[in-house]
Amino acid sequence: MLQKMKGTYDLHDTMPLVHDIERAIQAVSRLFQYQEIRTPHFELSELYHRSVGESSDIVSKETYDFKDRGGRAVTLRPEGTAGVVRAYVENKLYAEPIKPQKYYYVGSMFRYERPQKGRFREFRQFGAEAFGSEHPELDAEVIAYAITFLRALKLKNLTVHVNSLGDATSKTAYRAALKAHIAPHLETLCTDCQTRYHDNPLRILDCKVDTRHEALQTAPKPLDYLTEPDRQHFDAVIALLKAMDIAYTIDNSLVRGLDYYTHTVFEIKVDPDLLGNQNTICGGGRYNHLVESLGGPSTPAVGFAFGLERLMVALEAAGLQGKVQPLYCYVAALDESSVKYAMALMQSLRMRGLTCNMGFERKSLKAQFKQSAHQHARFVIILGEAEIASKTVQIKDQTSGDSFSVPLDEVYSTIMAQLSTASDCETCGHKGASS
Ligand code: ATP
Ligand code: MG
């Protein structure tokens, strides 16, 4: 039997939670006025080399690269920012009148990683990118957007970690200080870190192997190397978070793994009891030079990306399962000749917006009632020869247990009347649907 590929998964029984997440994304994005953008799942490999960076873990070890039939070097997107920036430049979105331009995306990303809990080879991200302002307000808004999304999903026990790398001058000064600090310990670091030391020393702080290494624990702090204007930018972001009542922790070891970050970097972590080591559900930061380096006009930008699988695990572990959508009507046909009337009734109810279902297997009434219960149907509508002859149907309200006879052409109005007096269902929050 053919099986799914390692590191991929099928979504079926958790779809109600996926839909809750997608609804929260849409609702919160509207509150913050971010517009959806959809970009291709594959791009020229060069895009990721020029943005994420040659020496990043993603590009050096994790991308799915292939030659297409025309001989082009293609990569399945490992992250969303590069594609959005490419689209921003290619479509001249910088010329749009509304400023700053704010976008969000949801979709699959692909990384060839060792699969484990919270780490897949095809995984989904919800990300945001805001272009056109270097002011700290945009950094703070992006963090507020991410937190408001989690609040909409009722997820608690999370911490926002923030740090700043500053711009070129600060980064260069910090890089030199970090290298000087690491040099005497270089031999004792993992082989990846020995390479990082030469290519991109900041990433040593991001290492998953050497986390407890003494040299990393005592490493200099990026904040101590910020130029005065960069320090002011960071202080302003912090003051804005305070003003918006968003709790945060300053995390001196936070650098983030991609080349393009400048100034603010942040991550949102949930309680490790919920997720274990893979407990970072969101990462983001400012990237003021990426647009220009991909051929656009100099445009500061800031964004984030959530890993949706980790978010789902955290929600489930916190007891926040998705809501099942209600089924209002289950139509039970008693015999062969009633089936076409049942279909006609369902069609007319569905056309008016009521959810309906029926059995398609000619089962006994008892079996049909059992099915209706599996589907959490609020009403069972019974149709047989006698009902058709008298143009009335039997309706059983599964919540109250009441049964009543209703003329066929009053089924819709009767059900609507019943629903309007019902209180919201505790499980799904919808009017009158039984749980
Ligand atoms: P990590 O340090 O866990 O490898 P990362 O820094 O590589 O994460 P980003 O590129 O910042 O991750 O992506 C943003 C978010 O996407 C992460 O915080 C995480 O929630 C999620 N994510 C990253 N890689 C994976 C993966 N392979 N499977 C599932 N989710 C992932
Ligand atoms: Mg990674």
Ligand 1: residue of 11, 109, 280 to mutate (most ligand atoms within 8 A of CB) is: 280
> pLDDT-based confidence at 432, cuts 50/70/90?
very low
Of all protein residues, the one whose alpha carbon is nearest to atom 25 of ligand 1 is 119
Ligand 1 atom showing the smallest separation from residue 306 Cα: 15
Please report the pLDDT score of residue 422 as a whole number: 58
Ligand 1: residue of 56, 119, 270, 275 to mutate (most ligand atoms within 8 A of CB) is: 119
175 vs 326: which has the higher pLDDT:
175
Q: What is the 3-state secondary structure (H, E, C) of 229-251?
A: HHHHHHHHHHHHHHHCCCCCEEC
CB–CB of 326/433 below 8 Å?
yes
Among 39, 40, 42, CA closest to 67: 42
Q: Which ligand is nearest to the CA of 118?
A: 1
- Do 251 and 335 fall within a single domain? no
Of all protein residues, the one whose alpha carbon is nearest to atom 3 of ligand 1 is 278
Whole-angstrom distance, CA of residue 133 vs CA of residue 92: 17
Distance (angstroms) between ligand 2 centre and the Cα of 203 equals 11
- Which residues sit opposite 269 in a β-bridge? 159, 280
- Evaluate if pTM is beyond 0.85: yes
> pLDDT-based confidence at 404, cuts 50/70/90?
very high
Give residue 359's region: left, alpha or beta (phi > 0; psi -120 to 50): beta
* Number of domains observed in the structure of the chain: 2
CATH number at residue 160: 3.30.930.10
H/E element, 197 = helix 191-199
| Mean pLDDT across the chain | 93
- Do 382 and 299 fall within a single domain? no
Report the relative pairing of strands 122-131 and 101-110 from DSSP bridges: antiparallel
Q: Would residue 219 count as lying in a domain?
A: no
Q: What would the DSSP string read from start to end of 73-115?
A: EEEE-S-SHHHHHHHHHHTTGGGSSSSSEEEEEEEEEE-----
Q: What is the 3-state secondary structure (H, E, C) of 131-193?
A: ECCCCHHHHHHHHHHHHHHHHHCCCCCEEEEEEECCCHHHHHHHHHHHHHHHHHHHHHCCHHH
Ligand 1: residue of 84, 123, 126 to mutate (most ligand atoms within 8 A of CB) is: 123
Please report the pLDDT score of residue 423 as a whole number: 55
Q: Name the domain boundary from 297, 317, 337.
A: 317
- Do 154 and 98 fall within a single domain? yes
Distance (angstroms) between ligand 1 centre and the Cα of 292 equals 25
pLDDT tens digits, 205-235: 888 787 788 888 899 999 999 999 999 999 9
Of all protein residues, the one whose alpha carbon is nearest to atom 21 of ligand 1 is 307
CB–CB of 375/330 below 8 Å?
yes
Distance (angstroms) between ligand 1 centre and the Cα of 421 equals 47
Please report the pLDDT score of residue 257 as a whole number: 67
Ligand 1 neighbours by CB, cut-off 6 Å: 79, 111, 113, 118-120, 123, 125, 257, 278, 280-283, 305, 307, 309-310
Ligand 1 atom showing the smallest separation from residue 79 Cα: 10
Is residue 301 classed as helix, strand or coil in its secondary structure? strand
pLDDT tens digits, 118-127: 999 999 999 9
- Do 249 and 384 fall within a single domain? no
Whole-angstrom distance, CA of residue 393 vs CA of residue 323: 31
In a 13 Å sphere around the CA of 335, the CA atoms on its Cβ side amount to 6
Ligand 1 atom showing the smallest separation from residue 310 Cα: 20
- Do 287 and 421 fall within a single domain? no
> pLDDT-based confidence at 368, cuts 50/70/90?
very high
Distance (angstroms) between ligand 2 centre and the Cα of 58 equals 7
Please report the pLDDT score of residue 256 as a whole number: 80
Report the relative pairing of strands 158-164 and 249-250 from DSSP bridges: parallel
Q: Which pair of tokens denotes residue 427? A: 């499980």
Whole-angstrom distance, CA of residue 291 vs CA of residue 167: 15
Of all protein residues, the one whose alpha carbon is nearest to atom 10 of ligand 1 is 79
Please report the pLDDT score of residue 277 as a whole number: 81
- Which residues sit opposite 129 in a β-bridge? 103, 303
CATH number at residue 388: 3.40.50.800
Distance (angstroms) between ligand 2 centre and the Cα of 128 equals 18
Please report the pLDDT score of residue 348 as a whole number: 97
Q: Would residue 211 count as lying in a domain?
A: no
Q: Would residue 198 count as lying in a domain?
A: no
Range of the domain at 89: 15-167+227-317
Among 167, 148, 149, 153, CA closest to 265: 167
- Which residues sit opposite 108 in a β-bridge? 124
Please report the pLDDT score of residue 425 as a whole number: 47
Please report the pLDDT score of residue 55 as a whole number: 82
54 vs 78: which has the higher pLDDT:
78
In a 13 Å sphere around the CA of 210, the CA atoms on its Cβ side amount to 25
